[in-house]
Amino acid sequence: MIDIRSKLKFDKESLIALLTFEQVKSGVFSFQNKDLASEIKKASVAGQFEGNKGELFPVLMEKKIVVLCGVGKEKDINLTSVRIQLRRAILSGYLKKVKSVEVIAYKDKEDVVTALIEGAVIGSYSWRKYISIKKDDKTVFEKNITIAARPNKVYDEAVIISQNVNFVRDLINDNADTVTSLFLEKTVRNVLKNQKGVNLQVFDRNKLKAKKFGLLLAVNQGSNKEPRVLIAKYQGAGKKDPYIALVGKGLTYDTGGLNLKPTGHMETMRQDMSGAACVIGMLKTALELKIKKNIIFACGIAENAIDANAYKPGDVITGYSGKTVEIGNTDAEGRLVLADVLAYLVKNEKPARIIDLATLTGAVVVALGHDYTGLVSNDDDLARGILKSAQATDDRVWQLPSYLELRDSMKSKIADIKNTSNYKGAAGTITGAEFLRQFVGDVPWAHLDIAGTAFVENDSRWYFGHGATGAGVRLLTHYLKNN
């Protein structure tokens, strides 16, 4: 639980104080507490704490633990590091057994407090569903956190957005045989329960066959799990206002198909539905924030498994659009699922803009690492809006090029298009996006490749622990509210 209140009351089990180098040296703080100020001065004089970036120092005041957190010189402060430092303090051994924590920052400023909220909610998250708790373990994993700041509607929204980031992380982190297409359908229905102004369409296997979603069905045909397409239409604006479509890739597990992924690349493939999870999280966010836009939330859901019925390299398959696709590699499956959903939306829903999210290519990790989502777009205005939102939210994005000659890279000798590039391993992210671009026509479209940013495979990155990050939720919420 997280709460915002206007003044530091010093009434919780613990206090986290984020302090600048200048505050520690001058003894001038944004709060009035003489005892605490005295303790900070003592730590500084003893050379134990100077407010440098990354410093953590515990002070015991009667029965209260105060954790002093250095954030460095004010002119050099980066809000990412503020989030990281608060996370480190919350998860530190000093507060292991503490249930309630109060937080005071070096400045009561909107962007600083928002960063604290994100550092607290997103940073304190951990996936512990399958970890047994020892009887003598007194660790408190879910803390009640109070932030001392003036009330602001922006903070209330930041709490909701951050909680929905964690909602998405829960979906991605759970077992693939738990989070199936039917589970995601049930999740969407629960999100929509008792909600007005939103309509849900569900395409099961029979409807997908009738509507000729040939590419999506081909990807799923080696699985014993049901495929699904979920389309929720949310009307937050006037009936005549245009719709923007958010489309998510939902591969609940990806073996790679007959082009089998090797050991070291398959173990975390439950996260291949991160795009769809983000779209579902965005639906929940739009409803809770009452975003004043007309939005289509669409998920293409399948499982790329292997049995005697699995689709094969060299197959030619006809998709919803009527285009035939040569299968160059069964592990380039996400673009097939998205192609059918994109083509359906363009023809039947006619959105004014489309943004898709997908863990589409390993190549984006090679290009951008794990800290930036790859963006490819056919519309400069749309791309600029997304990049601006990325800068505002720390949900980072980097734009990659899209150009006419890429069309040649996806040509096939036996079909209209091929699902792998003729560039022989080069430019994998932008050629994957080029495949998708050929199914959106002239509609302004942006593709977000979150293969690098959606999941942390080591112990931690920034203010995320191991596992899903919920990439895209903060980014798209800001974009929808401001564009």
Q: By the 8 A CB rule, do 250 and 171 touch? A: no
Q: By the 8 A CB rule, do 231 and 297 touch? A: yes
Residues whose CB is less than 8 angstroms from the CB of residue 98 and which lie 6 or more positions away in sequence, other chains included: 13, 14, 65, 140, 143
Inter-helix orientation angle 473-482/153-173, to 10°:
140
**What Å distances lie between residue 449 and 125, 369, 378, 471, CA to CA?**
24, 12, 15, 10
Q: Count CB-CB contacts under 10 A for residue 401.
A: 10
Q: CA 480, CA 282: separation in Å to the nearest integer?
A: 10
* Residue 22, phi-psi category: left (phi > 0), alpha (psi -120 to 50), beta (remainder): alpha
List the structure tokens of 335.
Answer: 């673009």
Q: CA 438, CA 286: separation in Å to the nearest integer?
A: 29
List the structure tokens of 480.
Answer: 């929808």
Q: By the 8 A CB rule, do 405 and 337 touch? A: no
Q: How many residues does the chain have?
A: 483
As annotated, the active-site residues are 261, 335
Closest CA to 359 of 178, 172, 217: 172
Task: Report the amino acid identity of residue 378.
Answer: N
